[in-house]
Amino acid sequence: MAQAQLFTPLRIRNLELANRIVIAPMCQYSATDGCMNDWHLTHLGGLAQSGAGLLTIEATAVSPEGRITPADLGLYDDATEAAMGRVLEGVRKWSDMPIALQLAHAGRKASCEAPWRGGRQIAPDAAGGWQTVAPSALAFDPETVAPTALDSEGLQRIRDGFAQAARRAARLGIDAVQIHVAHGYLLHTFLSPLSNHRTDAYGGSFENRARFPLEILDIVREAFADKAVSVRISATDWVPGGLTIDETAAFSALAEARGADAINVSTGGLHPGQKIPLSPGYQVPFARAVKAATNIPVVAVGLITEAEHAEAIVATGDADMIGLARGILYDPRWPWHAAAHLGAQIKPAPQYLRCQPARYKSLFVN
């Protein structure tokens, strides 16, 4: 049997990935004042035993007002850095899986309740709420308070937040950082013409709309020195007049030229009127288009649940890696099961070696 491409190694700058399976960032809405706690130790510790090639920590705000909810993770002061350090120490004691961190600012989608509490926006004058910011004073929907349009001082605060968070991530020994330019959060709202109505150097033409996200990439690239930096993008807004795949491909090429080491291709999240034709691998064509426009690794995501499907995406060259989110929450041993199905091998923690099923006698390597 030919070697499964999903389980071949890949090098990305400083990263040596054992396979092409990436655990995507998944918000837990369980932090205290931005600080990790025992939930994150349990959650990340379990995923670090999954056999994936890379574990990505959930969206981590670069400032308190950049959090989606009051219970989001942050990396913006000494307390949040120390808390993350304690959790990382516990995870790394038992796993050598590389760990990435997604740096984010929620923009106009900030100040919300956790999803299981309804996810509604918390008004600025309500307990736990705050005033949101965005490129333009356009509300996400009629039921939310319009954000404040960022002025030059506000833009500088955002730049400083990303730079400081990247430096903190470097101090913590994070292996890679991902810049969140997707799902309707701040940097995505600069890029999309639906949410960016500015008339200065940061609005209007595609080049102007791309300017601020690329400035953030420059800042993070410098602050994170010689380690891997990736960018997560929403390739389309799924709304007429929104971001196009041609613009996304052009942005990805610009990001590569500015030092991005990989592009993670998602879609949507910017507009409540989006109409998404959900089906297995529905976002893969966008990953394919970005891969055609760049020379750096591309991650495909979105309803990829079966081992054969994931293998086909990598083997045909549509993408270089597969990102798993809800699927790996449901099945934290998905990489084990995929390896067994595809005739590949996986290296588990030695404590788990004796659980190898008899019908997969060569699945585990010690």
Residue 48 identity: A
d(CA 362, CA 14): 30
SS3 (DSSP) at 95: coil
CB-based contact 177:99 (threshold 8 Å): no
Q: Of 278, 343, 281, 277, which is closest to residue 306 (Cα–Cα)?
A: 281
- Please classify residue 297 by burial: count the beta carbons closer than 10 Å to its beta carbon, then call 0-12 exposed, 13-18 middle and 19+ buried: buried
Spatial separation of the C-alpha atoms in residues 314 and 300, rounded to whole Å: 9
Q: Sign of the CA dihedral 194, 200, 201, 207?
A: positive
Query: Distance between CA atoms of 254 and 267, rounded to whole angstroms?
Result: 19
DSSP 123-154: PTTSTT----EESSS--SSTTSPPPEEP-HHH
β-pair type (10-12, 73-74): unpaired
185 included as an active-site residue: yes
* Dihedral-angle region of residue 183 (phi above 0 means left; psi in -120 to 50 means alpha; beta otherwise): left
Which of 29, 185, 352, 360 is catalytic? The answer is 185
179 C-beta neighbours (distance < 10 Å), count = 26
Beta-strand (E) ranges in the chain?
10-12, 15-17, 21-23, 54-61, 73-74, 99-104, 133-134, 148-149, 176-181, 228-234, 262-266, 298-300, 321-324
Q: Which residue has the tokens 């900030």?
A: 110
Burial class (CB in 10 A: 0-12, 13-18, 19+), 207: exposed
* Phi, then psi, of 157 in degrees rounded to 5: -65, -40
Strands 10-12 and 15-17, sheet pairing: antiparallel
Q: Which residues are catalytic?
A: 185
